[in-house]
Amino acid sequence: MSEKQAQLKEDVLELATKIEAGLTMDKKSGVASASEDLYEQNLPEDLTMEEVKKVSDYNTTFVAAGTYAFGKLSVDAMTGNKGLEKTTGEIKMGVKDTLSFSMDRRKEYVNHLTGGDKTVKFGVVTSAYEVRAGKNAGQLKVARTMIAELAADKLK
């Protein structure tokens, strides 16, 4: 075991073992499958799936509401500024997650099914909810390094 492997915290190793037991890998296709309740079965004792669902439902509502609010502000800004073609913004969600928006004043689409007819839409809003488990640092970096070492050893 290398020094980097020893740096992985015990709770991370324990959870990894449980997750690994709940995963199967099709060695021919390379596609992994997880048992249906793998996430729920490994929640900390003080966190229920009901609480996770409430947060997930709230985030879904927040993304829709944030998109609407951003879109309204964008339309207002563009109405007063004919040269403003695009708006952007973001909202931090929780500790590491981010909700990003952009809106184009107008966007032209080509319908290839009808021989190239063009359609122009106004106020095209794009929302992206980025969930970050963490940057490549701390335990994530150690885990990735350990896998790279394992792969270098086994896959050469």
Asked if residue 85 has pLDDT above 90, the reply is yes
Cα 140 to Cα 7, 11, 95, 133, 154: the distances in Å are: 11, 13, 16, 8, 21
How confident is the model at residue 107, as a pLDDT?
95
Residues 100, 90 contacting (CB under 8 angstroms):
yes
Over residues 42-56, mean pLDDT: 96
- The proportion of the chain whose per-residue pLDDT surpasses 90, expressed as a percent, equals 78
What rounded mean pLDDT belongs to the chain?
Answer: 91
Asked if residue 61 has pLDDT above 70, the reply is yes
Residue 4 pLDDT level (bands cut at 50, 70, 90): very low
Sequential DSSP letters for the chain? --HHHHTS-HHHHHHHHHHHHTEEEETTTTEEEE-TTHHHHTS-TT--HHHHHHHHHHHHHHHHHHHHHHHHHHHHHHHT-TT--EEEEEEEETTTEEEEEEEEEEEEEEEGGGTSEEEEEEEEEEEEEE--S--S-HHHHHHHHHHHHHHHHH--
Asked if residue 5 has pLDDT above 60, the reply is no
More confident residue, 96 or 6: 96
Q: What is the pLDDT of residues 118-146, one digit of tens each?
A: 999 999 999 999 988 766 668 888 898 89
**What amino acid occupies position 95?**
V
Asked if residue 1 has pLDDT above 50, the reply is no
How confident is the model at residue 49, as a pLDDT?
96
